[in-house]
Structure 1
Amino acid sequence: MGSTRPSMQELIGRRRRAGFVGRVEERAAFRRNLELPPEDERHRFLFHVHGDAGVGKTRLVRELEQIAREAGALTAYADEGVAGVPEAMTVISRQFAVQGRRFRELERLLAAHRERRHEAEAALAMGGPEDREGPSAGSLAVARAARVGLGMVPVAGAFAAALDTDRLAEGADRLRARFRSQEDAQLVLSPERVLTPVLLTELAGAADAVPWIVLLLDTYERTGPFLDPWLHDVMTTDRHGALPANVVVVTSGQHPFDTARWGSFADFRTDLPLGPFTEAEARGLLADKGVRDEPVVAEVLRLTGGLPVLVSTLAESGPVGPGEVGDPSATAVDRFLKWERDPVRRAAALAGALPRRLDEDVFRSVVDGPEDLAGALFAWLRGMPFVSERGGRLQYHDVVRAPMLRLQRLRSPQGWAERHTRLAEAYGRRRTEAEAGLRPDELWADEGWRELRLGESYHLLCARPRAALSDALADVVTVCAHGDDAVRPWVRLLAEAGEDADAEAVRTWGGDLSEALAGGGLAGLLRLLLGRARGDEPWRATAWALRADALARDGAPERALEEYDRALALDPALVRAHRGRAVTRGGTGDYEGALADLDRVLELEPDNPWNVILRGEHHRLARHHDEAVADLSEGIRRNPASEFALASRGAAHERHGDLDAALADFDHALELKPDYAWALARRARVWRGLGDQTRRLADLDRALALQPDWAWGRCERGDALRVTGRDAEALADYDRALELDPGYASAYASRGVSLSNLGRNEEALADLDRALALNPEYPWAREQRTAVRHRITEA
């Protein structure tokens, strides 16, 4: 049995917390709330702490967390270290695990989300094939919303949209086929939809074992743009499931709650606005730290304005007499460090403020002196009250860091530039080391590499803002290929570097890009970049291609084609633009144009097996049997593990009537990827040709179990049921197909035949009329309508 005695860390924490001064009313309100059952109308489910930087929001939130733990709560704390909802769930899950509550299913799905997202980013970075699972209006809707979780997916929307209205056999949905199952696809395309219900289920299980679950979301001014809509959904709707009533959420940021979103829910939340310490609170903190000399206390009150972080910093330095408070012309930073007598420590504190995030390796690169001294200084710095530790790295409080940066920049512009250059070089060396084992196309898909690149770019912008801005904007364009979550830190980087370096151009770009991203997503951000381009930026062609990708995703293929043309006018050798234009042309039925583009892609990038596979697929869609089989076979030779190429070649063989070859290819593809829904559905067509209706239905059942919201698959199974005389069951599949895609001509025609078989000829005629209205060139529907009219006449 474990010991019931407190650990050393717990005892130290208790002693430190005993000195917590101020915020008595806020702490008391939170503590009282935990004494009320959730059913009590006085109980509040949401607390929002807000106030300016330096007023002690984070410290209060951490204190509320301790109060919750003392009440037996399970707690989790997240701050700006998370860049999206899945990352927030990862932090919550890990912290609960430390407290003895494992969310195993959520952990599994989060791990799968990270793995599948990495796979998708890596595949798309190298220009993967336009994989497909068949036409589906539901899939297309996901594709159009994909910027939430996979904004970098090129041109899937237009391709799927056009093919969805064509022959049943010509389905295409690039997004889903990249993944092993429907769950995998959703984990990348709409991770919140998959992960949130699991989180709520896990929370419900934990809620039975603890009195309270408290989630604390700090620095909400940065995380709120993506966490706030999700939190509102989770707390006020049942869209994702039920949230246990004994969950309490604490948010903390610089701004009050968004009344447009939360205004009507004032009866279940409490605002905790924070201002500076009152004089009594500040004096209490100083007295607790042994600072009681009135002239010293008066000077501290004057310097800090009651800001808790500054009061605490000056109290920790321990001034002992009025003689140490002189020099009224000194800067605020000089006063923060005035009572630190050691000049080496003073210099180390200033140098440590230069990086946005600080670990010991970075610290050693910017602090002069022997190795052992640097280690001792870093250990000292970790104990300073204005420094917090997050994820193994140190971060200065903004209220202290900002004047420290300003002091160094103004006191020695040359020294400022030299130190930031040294830091940029240190990050650059670490970035180069991180590239080992990564292909060039994998770098931007690797989060660790991107983080190092961010650090390097920040210090280059601080050292030489004008010279570094062009490269930073080029990085923004490049990272747009990896989605909103990936680009958001880059936009924040520009805003922070512009502020820290007092570089107006950089600061303006950061603010404007942030507004564009928030208001118009990646397309809006790219529109701003291109609208302000002077005309000589090397990134313009890529930006036009990425904007074309976004337009194609949103179902605007003609506009997308125009912007691909703009990209290629600037850079005729841009593979991304040629490949994107090819897929968009294919999506509109212009297979010959698509093949011309793909010929050019293969000239420019002959060693990428996906390119030859993609051309083979377009030959298949264009009914060029020999060319399709030749390209797909070459693609399989280069990449024997490509289940997509095998399934595509199988489909080509099936249409050509070579059922044995088709069956062999589909079997092999399904060995590689057992949950490949499109391959299962297409193999079902082989079983149809071989007269094996039992296996046909079995494959379609498996495919729909993997992808239930698949209009094409539903229609295929409806047809399989109809030909075996099970028309009543077939109607259910046709009905569902038409719910998913109201413009699905084939589903109307097939349903009309089943209705006629059941004696419902008037309804059948209406469905067949609708099918022909949608697709006048539909001979099978015309034949069936003639037969139904004949039956009606005979009756």
Structure 2
Amino acid sequence: MRLLMPVVDGHRRPHGPYTVASALLHRLVPGVLERSAELVAAHDIEIRAAAPGLRDLVPARRVTIDVDLPDDERILVPAPRRTLRLANGIAEFVRDVVPPGETLVVCNGAEADPTDAELLDVMTRRIPPDVLRIVVYSDGPEHPEDSRAAEELWDAVDRCLREGFLHAVAELGRLGLARADPGGELWWRFAQRTATALGGLGRTEQAREVWRSVRTASQDPAVHAAGAYGMAMLDARHSDPARRDLVRAREWINEAIAISTLLPDPLERAFKLGFDRNGLALIELREGRPEAALALVESAIELARELEERHPVHRMVLRANRARLLAVLGRTKEALDDYAAAIGIDPAFPDFYLDRGNLLAKLGYHDEALADYESAMRAGPPLPEAHYNRAELRIARDDLDGALADLGRVIDLDPAFLDAYINRAGLLAGLERDDEAWTDVSAGLALAPGNPHLLVVLGQLETAAGRHREARRALDRAIEAAPGLAAAWGNRGVLRFEAGDVEGAVEDLSQAIGLEPQPDLYANRAVALRALGREGEADADDERASRTG
């Protein structure tokens, strides 16, 4: 066994997130810089995030606008999935530069920060073992409890929130809360970061407890307004739609707005009130009132004019939110203008390229949509969603090989990306690559048992294999789960025809046509009608098939 480097202690204390990644990158990057500075530059974001000690060696090439903003203007928190993007970027860098036959050994694996645990999983999955063998074990030296004072902890918490290391923020933030003076400025900053991280991780009740402690400890109006906003968003943004409480969210956001309206400083009032109205717009949208949501966002944009050059991220978010609402209301030209304005404020922020690309694709501007998806890909570490969206665009353009390549990339980056399995399985089945389609259906159903789209593909595959009973069972389950899914009815119609139930085939194909009139459905029903001797109806369906094709 040839060790790439001495055994790495993966314990999250004392170095925090990406302890393993930092040690590994410190071992590799200096040597790679001598051979290929371009390769290092291509991974500047990942390297600088995971190994801040290398920042002097690795200049920032892709920088978002919030890097140099003051604390109160940095309002965006990276999504939890950002660490998966970083892990994939680091894994690709390591795979490209490590000499074959090396072994990486990590001790204290059970005490590693989730960022390192995720990275080790990604590297194990994506780097062939004959290139880099990874050995992780739990034993290792013990480390004392974190004894840093609140002021020292603050720097770590602030950096971790900026980078999206939410588990570390939640852990270190609690330590900071315990060591800062309750109700003081530093305590409040810990509380705000900790609650935000807990909410982002889906630990809603824990986040709610932190916001409650804010209300108990502080009499500052701005703090109470922020706490009320935080409570509202826990209810409005819950990851499980069934657990969203929009009534309670409205109660909290109304309290936030009422307090913000009374703030004495005009700039703080304009920012906070606009921020809160933007939150209320989300609630209005989720209650089915996009016009009311749009009016709120536009009022927030008007308030932001008072801020002049301050709070550019806030202004960017408002323009993008207005673009989304305008798109919902069918005002696509105005939506595209707002997306352009948002992207103009920060061209290095990838999300709005994706949103604009989706709108452009829907409007049939495929070349422009493709450019936006590829801009999103270039803006940062590997982004599965951009490849997924490009795959859908390629399907629409009948570039099936390109679509399959993109879907494969999505699954490589994120094996839990269910929709990628659904789309790739469907494409493979349509190309009669049934063995590969079976693999994707099996993987997808392991993630989401009973998914109706996968059950439809399963029904297709079982039908093609002549296993009519199994095919019928799969398609019946798909229809039961999603009675509005035309593909389920259409495929069951084909199956019933093959099984000799021609009347049943016509019934199912008619149901499918009622949901989604497609040429192939008309053509298939024409065949069934002709088998029943209903020539006139069959001719009419053939005509419809040619007219809609």
The TM-score bracket by the shorter chain reads 0.5 to 0.7
Deviation at 1:666, TM superposition (A): 1.1
The alignment status of 1:633 with 2:349, answered yes or no, reads: no
Contact kept in structure 2, 1:595 and 1:618, CA below 8 Å: yes
Contact kept in structure 2, 1:582 and 1:594, CA below 8 Å: yes
Deviation at 1:560, TM superposition (A): 5.2
Match of 1:602 in 2: 301
Match of 1:184 in 2: 85
Amino acid of the structure 2 residue aligned with 1:682? N
Secondary structure in structure 1 of the residue aligned to 2:319? helix
The alignment status of 1:90 with 2:27, answered yes or no, reads: no
The alignment status of 1:530 with 2:237, answered yes or no, reads: no
Deviation at 1:216, TM superposition (A): 9.7
Aligned equivalents of 1:651, 1:228: Cα separation in 2: 32
The alignment status of 1:555 with 2:492, answered yes or no, reads: no
Secondary structure in structure 2 of the residue aligned to 1:717? helix
- Computed over aligned residues only, the root mean square deviation of the Cα atoms, in angstroms, reads 6.0
Contact kept in structure 2, 1:83 and 1:485, CA below 8 Å: no
Larger C-alpha radius of gyration, 1 or 2? 1
Match of 2:515 in 1: none
Aligned equivalents of 2:413, 2:191: Cα separation in 1: 43
Change beyond 3 A, Cα 1:681–1:789: same
Secondary structure in structure 1 of the residue aligned to 2:335? helix
The alignment's TM-score, normalised by the length of structure 2, stands at 0.57
Match of 1:543 in 2: 227
Amino acid of the structure 2 residue aligned with 1:184? R
Question: Within 5 A, what are the aligned runs for 1:71-220?
Answer: 82=14, 84-87=16-19, 90=22, 110-113=47-50, 152=77, 183-184=84-85, 205=102
Secondary structure in structure 1 of the residue aligned to 2:141? strand
Question: Within 5 A, what are the aligned runs for 1:77-476?
Answer: 82=14, 84-87=16-19, 90=22, 110-113=47-50, 152=77, 183-184=84-85, 205=102, 249-253=140-144, 447=155, 450=158
Aligned equivalents of 1:717, 1:563: Cα separation in 2: 41
Could you report, residue by residue, the CA deviation over 1:423-471 in whole angstroms, capped at 9, with x for unpaired residues? xxxxxxxxxxxxxxxxxxxxx9xx58958xxxxxxxxxxxxxxxxxxxx
Aligned equivalents of 2:193, 2:355: Cα separation in 1: 42
Question: Within 5 A, what are the aligned runs for 1:474-485?
Answer: 483-485=166-168
Change beyond 3 A, Cα 1:75–1:736: closer
Aligned equivalents of 2:150, 2:214: Cα separation in 1: 30
Aligned equivalents of 1:559, 1:676: Cα separation in 2: 28
Structure 2 regions of 5+ residues with no counterpart?
Answer: 31-35, 52-59, 258-271, 306-311, 503-549
Contact kept in structure 2, 1:564 and 1:578, CA below 8 Å: no
Could you report, residue by residue, the CA deviation over 1:755-792 in whole angstroms, capped at 9, with x for unpaired residues? 32443332222222222222222334233333323332
Amino acid of the structure 1 residue aligned with 2:338? E
Contact kept in structure 1, 2:361 and 2:369, CA below 8 Å: no
Change beyond 3 A, Cα 1:629–1:249: same
Contact kept in structure 2, 1:632 and 1:645, CA below 8 Å: no
Aligned equivalents of 1:540, 1:700: Cα separation in 2: 46
The alignment status of 1:570 with 2:269, answered yes or no, reads: no
Change beyond 3 A, Cα 1:664–1:730: same
* 1:750 equivalent among 448, 454, 457: 457
Deviation at 1:251, TM superposition (A): 0.8
Contact kept in structure 1, 2:428 and 2:437, CA below 8 Å: yes
Contact kept in structure 2, 1:495 and 1:509, CA below 8 Å: no
Deviation at 1:673, TM superposition (A): 2.0
Contact kept in structure 2, 1:719 and 1:730, CA below 8 Å: yes
Contact kept in structure 2, 1:653 and 1:662, CA below 8 Å: yes
Change beyond 3 A, Cα 1:557–1:587: farther
* 2:490 equivalent among 783, 787, 791: 783
Aligned equivalents of 2:242, 2:446: Cα separation in 1: 25
Match of 2:477 in 1: 770
Could you report, residue by residue, the CA deviation over 1:567-614 in whole angstroms, capped at 9, with x for unpaired residues? 422232545554455557767877566555544543444662333233
Contact kept in structure 1, 2:422 and 2:440, CA below 8 Å: yes
Contact kept in structure 1, 2:320 and 2:339, CA below 8 Å: yes
Aligned equivalents of 2:164, 2:316: Cα separation in 1: 21
Match of 1:377 in 2: none
* 2:366 equivalent among 629, 653, 662: 662
Deviation at 1:717, TM superposition (A): 2.0
Change beyond 3 A, Cα 1:127–1:230: closer
Aligned equivalents of 1:753, 1:214: Cα separation in 2: 46
Contact kept in structure 2, 1:629 and 1:652, CA below 8 Å: no
Aligned equivalents of 1:80, 1:755: Cα separation in 2: 49
Structure 1 regions of 5+ residues with no counterpart?
Answer: 1-72, 99-103, 129-151, 155-174, 208-212, 218-223, 256-353, 358-443, 452-477
Contact kept in structure 1, 2:428 and 2:434, CA below 8 Å: yes
Change beyond 3 A, Cα 1:548–1:737: farther
Amino acid of the structure 1 residue aligned with 2:168? D
Contact kept in structure 1, 2:115 and 2:165, CA below 8 Å: no
Deviation at 1:530, TM superposition (A): 1.6
Secondary structure in structure 2 of the residue aligned to 1:785? helix
Amino acid of the structure 1 residue aligned with 2:437? A
Aligned equivalents of 1:757, 1:744: Cα separation in 2: 20
Aligned equivalents of 2:114, 2:371: Cα separation in 1: 46
Change beyond 3 A, Cα 1:787–1:549: same
Aligned equivalents of 2:490, 2:29: Cα separation in 1: 64
Aligned equivalents of 1:652, 1:694: Cα separation in 2: 24
The alignment's TM-score, normalised by the length of structure 1, stands at 0.42
Greater alpha carbon shift after TM alignment, 114-123 vs 675-684: 114-123
Contact kept in structure 2, 1:666 and 1:679, CA below 8 Å: no
Change beyond 3 A, Cα 1:735–1:548: farther
Change beyond 3 A, Cα 1:243–1:780: closer
Greater alpha carbon shift after TM alignment, 637-646 vs 720-729: 637-646
Aligned equivalents of 2:334, 2:173: Cα separation in 1: 44
Secondary structure in structure 1 of the residue aligned to 2:366? helix
Change beyond 3 A, Cα 1:184–1:753: same
Amino acid of the structure 1 residue aligned with 2:377? K
* 2:446 equivalent among 739, 744, 747: 739
Could you report, residue by residue, the CA deviation over 1:627-669 in whole angstroms, capped at 9, with x for unpaired residues? 234213332255253654444344334334x3xx222321343
* 1:713 equivalent among 410, 420, 423: 420
Aligned equivalents of 2:499, 2:179: Cα separation in 1: 75
Could you report, residue by residue, the CA deviation over 1:527-550 in whole angstroms, capped at 9, with x for unpaired residues? 244256258433123223334545
Aligned equivalents of 2:287, 2:61: Cα separation in 1: 29
